[in-house]
Amino acid sequence: MMCAMAQRVKRAFTYRFYPTPEQAEQLARTFGCVRLVYNKALEERSRAYALHGRGVSYGESSAMLAAWKRTQELAFLGEVSSVPLQQALRHLQAAFTNFFAKRAAYPRFKSRKRSRLSAEYTRSAFTWRDGRLTLAKTGTPLRIVWSRPLPEGAEPSTVTVSRNAAGRWFVSILCEDTVRPLDPVEGVVGIDAGIASLLVLSRPIPGVTDAVGKVANPRHERADRVRLARAQRALARKEKGSSNRAKAKVRVARVHARITDRRRDHLHKLTTSIVRENQVIAIEDLTVRNLVRNRRLARAVSDASWRQVRTMLEYKAAWYGRELVVVDRWFPSSKLCSACGAVAAAMPLEVREWVCAACGATHDRDVNAAKNILAAGLAER
């Protein structure tokens, strides 16, 4: 008998909000200070690293920040909440930890143009009362569009405010939430990224895939692409430095943001259904996938989307008591007959369906690959 243990997990809930002019002004100033502190601390750390080959601790950075605030030219740092500035130092600390552990490249400066504008507030820097969120130094509660409710009794622990290139404001609220494992199911599934479809499953799931197991690209995707191409063409026609060009730029950013949002929503729905319906889920590791796939192929699933799918499957499987197996060993998934194990001689990309010479089974190329990934995953457990 399996015991369904509820677990406490941290979940982020993101909403749009509409700042008052005062809030917008204060937050924009905070973003600027966050960037400045991050860059200055990075400069100091780089100097210490270059001169003495040593790291700088978070405590030392924090003392530097206190000293900067006491100088005349940086006194304005004291006009924004100190917490987002401290958090910037913590993020830098984490970036260096990853660098020294060889998990990441050397930290880079935050540029005015390329970097995401954001500020992170921990518990001491906001109040949460009667469903109203007020950030330090902003005075009034944020006007949040509650597109979905926070979980019952949720206690926000961290709040991140950001503004994207399209000028939209978002607040991401990290909460403790209780998730309960789902009842065990019999289903097992292998997942591959298809060529003409978004994902290919080793078996069909009603309401998720078509009759053979393919998940089509969402219908809105094509229209969004057309819209993006149109916005980009309009931008290219605008004169450099003109206000019309700035407007066209915002329009392009807006379409981009919309595509990203819609894709993420779609992937959330898909991964939740897959996790619900299956006890074991097998996927191929991205590095393995890249070994096999032809880079010139117009892939239905970009590496970024695939990484998102994997991350979502990982944490949802952990929440709901499912098992995710990542197959990291290479095998000829397209050429291998999932029915008898015979390996076909060649499999040019244009071959969408084939008949195994050894056993006579007819295979859809992509579904067959997904079945092989499932078999490899089950063998690897």
Which residues here bind Zn ion, judged by CB under 5 A? 337, 339-340, 342, 356, 358-359, 361
The distance of closest approach from Cβ of residue 381 to Zn ion in the complex, given in angstroms and rounded to an integer, is 24
Query: CB-wise, 223 or 342, nearer to Zn ion?
Result: 342
CB of 348 to Zn ion, least distance (A): 19
- We find the least distance from the C-beta atom of residue 342 to Zn ion, in angstroms, to be 5
Nearest distance, CB of residue 336 and Zn ion, angstroms: 9
CA distance readout (Å), 317 to 23, 174, 306, 351, 376: 39, 20, 16, 34, 19
Token representation of residue 192: 């591959």
Considering the complex, state which of residue 248 and residue 337 has its C-beta at the smaller distance from Zn ion: 337
Provide the minimum distance between the beta carbon of 335 and Zn ion in the complex, in angstroms, as a whole number.
11
> Are the C-beta atoms of 204 and 211 separated by less than 8 Å?
yes
Which of 192, 277, 285, 350 does the annotation list as catalytic? 192
Nearer to Zn ion, 24 or 361 (CB): 361
Q: Which is nearer to Zn ion, 313 or 374 (CB)?
A: 374
Nearest CB to Zn ion, comparing residues 308 and 368: 368
| Shorter beta-carbon distance to Zn ion: residue 131 or 360 | 360
Distance from the first to the final alpha carbon of the chain: 21
To Zn ion, the closest distance from the beta carbon of 291 in angstroms equals 24
For residue 19, give the nearest of 135, 149, 129 by alpha carbon: 135
Helix H segments across 54-186? 58-70, 82-100
Give, for 129, the enclosing helix (H) or strand (E).
Answer: strand 126-129
The active-site residue, picked from 120, 177, 224, 284, is 284
Active-site annotation holds for 366: yes
Do the Cβ atoms of 11 and 58 come closer than 8 Å? no
CB of 371 to Zn ion, least distance (A): 11
Give the list of residues 6+ apart from residue 149 with CB closer than 8 angstroms, or none. none
What residue type is 38 in one-letter code?
Answer: Y
Catalytic residue among 120, 224, 277, 366, which? 366
284 is catalytic: yes
Nearest to 212 by CA among 367, 18, 30: 367
Contact 333, 372 (CB under 8 A): yes
**Torsion sign across C-alpha atoms 225, 231, 237, 241:** negative
β-pair type (280-284, 323-327) = parallel
Nearer to Zn ion, 209 or 368 (CB): 368
Half-sphere exposure of 132 (CA within 13 A, CB side): 8
Cα–Cα distance list, 23 to 117, 216, 223, 338 (Å): 15, 43, 35, 59
* Residue closer to Zn ion, measured from CB, 328 or 353: 353
Residue pair 379/341 in contact by the 8 Å Cβ criterion: no
Distance separating alpha carbons of residues 162 and 180, to the nearest angstrom: 31
How many whole angstroms separate alpha carbon 162 and alpha carbon 124?
19
Q: Please confirm, yes or no, whether 261 is among the known catalytic residues.
A: no
Q: Shortest Cβ distance from residue 112 to Zn ion (Å)?
A: 59
Catalytic residue IDs: 192, 284, 366
